[in-house]
């Protein structure tokens, strides 16, 4: 039972952050109406959440050196729930921005803690399999929370009602953690910390994942708006598109969980990025709304397991990963997620066309694919060199 609860804690972080992040594309319109601001300003306001994520990943570099992981999980999810309650009850701009920042900060620390716990318990292909399974939880959350958000908005509920549901889930996880014996990293008596190693490979993977997350979050935000602007889609139709993206992502992550237990993670990433570029191109060039909605499955399938696939790929460059290695990769992704609302809003603001933001995302995905190809070649040569000269 303790092992089951530990696995639940490992999986819960991505599920909860999914409930906050993925509905943004649907609730941006209601937020704009509620606060009397343009939709681009509403989208940009969610940048406070993504900047909170960024700050949380910086905090993750240090917090686990001084506070036990179990304590961080319990206290973090309680504070998360309090912040969600503040977001739901206080209706003013500064309060919204503050609580979005706090929610992002706490959620990102929990995700880093969950991935760190995975790295302590598993290694090799089992580790990368569990990390991809975390992506499945993220995408499963995307399906559930997108459907809930669509229903809440169609029924004229408050735009943050889905966030209230997420807060209840976080409170449940805190109670589970309180009754669980959480495994800490095993250290020698004379060693206070696990040593952290760095090299060019893992640093370059961080740059690549930054670009990928900028594109990924921008697509989540603007795909529903693209359907509405170009094809006059209704709220239900744009919600269906976003749901399809997460259905495809969930299926892709489930399949990916099996595939990465059989093949190298870099081959998996290359395949997913190629599919993603194709799907996004099909969405942009679709002749009608139905084709856009169908293309959502392909776009989703490609990004379903890619972020944690990146984490596993980055960790393959170091022999013994520490929480600082994981925090670095998550921080890189957090920077990409943080700038995505502002970056994509600026493109839409300048051109007036949502499709232009998606075109830029497509170009970024091509750059990312090339970077992973080059990093894969570099890693193979590096590993061959280590086998030939183990002391180097």
Q: DSSP letters along 113-168, please?
A: HHHHHHHHH--HHHHHHHHHHHHHHHHHHHHHHHHHHHHHHHTT--TTHHHHHHHH
In a domain, 284, yes or no: yes
| Burial category of 201 from C-beta neighbours within 10 Å (exposed 0-12, middle 13-18, buried 19 and up) | middle
Is pLDDT above 70 for 187? no
Q: What's the mean pLDDT in 290-296?
A: 90
Question: Cα angle vertex 372, ends 12, 251, to 5°?
Answer: 40
Q: Does any domain span residue 192? A: no
Question: For residue 190, what pLDDT is reported?
Answer: 41
Is the full-model pTM beyond 0.75? no
pLDDT in tens, 99-124: 999 999 999 899 888 877 777 776 66
Which band of pLDDT confidence, cut at 50, 70 and 90, is reported for residue 241?
confident
Overall average pLDDT of the 310-334 stretch: 79
Q: Which two tokens stand for residue 128?
A: 């990368």
295 within a domain of the structure (yes/no): yes
103 domain residue, yes or no: yes
> In terms of residue numbers, what domain contains 259?
2-182+197-388
The CATH number covering residue 202 comes to 1.20.1250.20
- For residue 185, pLDDT over 70 is answered with no
| Domain assignment present for 189 | no
Is 148 inside a domain boundary? yes
Looking at residues 324-335, what average pLDDT do you find? 82
pLDDT tens digits, one per residue of 253-286: 777 777 777 778 888 888 888 888 898 999 999 9
Q: 191 pLDDT exceeds 50? A: no
Distinct helix (H) and strand (E) counts, the chain:
15, 0
Q: What is the pLDDT of residue 184?
A: 64
* Residue 188 belongs to some domain of the structure: no
User: Domain count of the chain?
Assistant: 1
């Amino acid at each position: 039972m303790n092992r089951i609860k530990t696995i639940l804690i490992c999986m819960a972080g991505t599920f909860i952050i999914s409930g906050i992040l993925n509905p943004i594309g649907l609730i941006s319109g209601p937020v704009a109406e509620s606060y009397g601001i343009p939709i681009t300003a509403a989208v940009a306001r969610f940048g406070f959440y993504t900047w909170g994520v960024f700050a949380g990943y910086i905090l993750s570099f240090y917090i686990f050196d001084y506070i036990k992981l179990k304590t961080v999980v319990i206290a973090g999810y309680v504070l998360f729930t309090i912040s969600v309650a503040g977001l739901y009850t206080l209706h003013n701009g500064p309060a919204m921005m503050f609580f979005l920042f706090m929610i992002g900060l706490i959620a990102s620390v929990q995700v880093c803690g969950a991935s760190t716990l995975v790295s302590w318990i598993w290694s090799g292909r089992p580790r990368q399999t569990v990390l991809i399974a975390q992506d499945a939880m993220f995408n499963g959350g995307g399906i559930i929370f997108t459907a809930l958000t669509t229903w809440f908005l169609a029924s004229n509920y408050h735009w943050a009602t889905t966030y209230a549901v997420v807060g209840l889930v976080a409170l449940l996880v805190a109670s589970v953690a309180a009754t669980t014996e959480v495994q800490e990293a095993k250290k020698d008596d004379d060693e206070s910390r696990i040593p952290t190693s760095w090299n060019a490979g893992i640093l370059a993977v961080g740059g690549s994942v930054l670009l990928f997350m900028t594109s990924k979050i921008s697509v989540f935000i603007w795909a529903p708006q693209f359907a509405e602007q170009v094809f006059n889609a209704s709220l239900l139709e744009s919600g269906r598109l976003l749901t399809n993206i997460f259905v495809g992502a969930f299926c892709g992550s489930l399949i990916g969980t099996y595939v990465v237990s059989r093949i190298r993670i870099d081959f998996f990433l290359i395949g997913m990025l190629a599919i993603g570029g194709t799907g996004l191109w099909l969405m942009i060039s679709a002749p009608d709304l139905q084709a856009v909605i169908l293309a959502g499955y392909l776009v989703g399938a490609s990004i379903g397991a890619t972020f944690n696939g990146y984490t596993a790929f980055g960790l393959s460059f170091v022999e013994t990963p520490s929480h600082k290695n994981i925090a670095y990769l998550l921080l890189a992704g957090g920077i990409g997620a943080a700038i995505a609302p502002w970056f994509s809003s600026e493109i839409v603001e300048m051109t007036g066309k949502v499709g232009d933001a998606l075109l830029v995302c497509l170009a970024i995905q091509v750059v990312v694919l090339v970077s992973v190809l080059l990093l894969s070649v570099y890693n193979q040569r590096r590993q061959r060199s280590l086998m030939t000269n183990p002391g180097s």
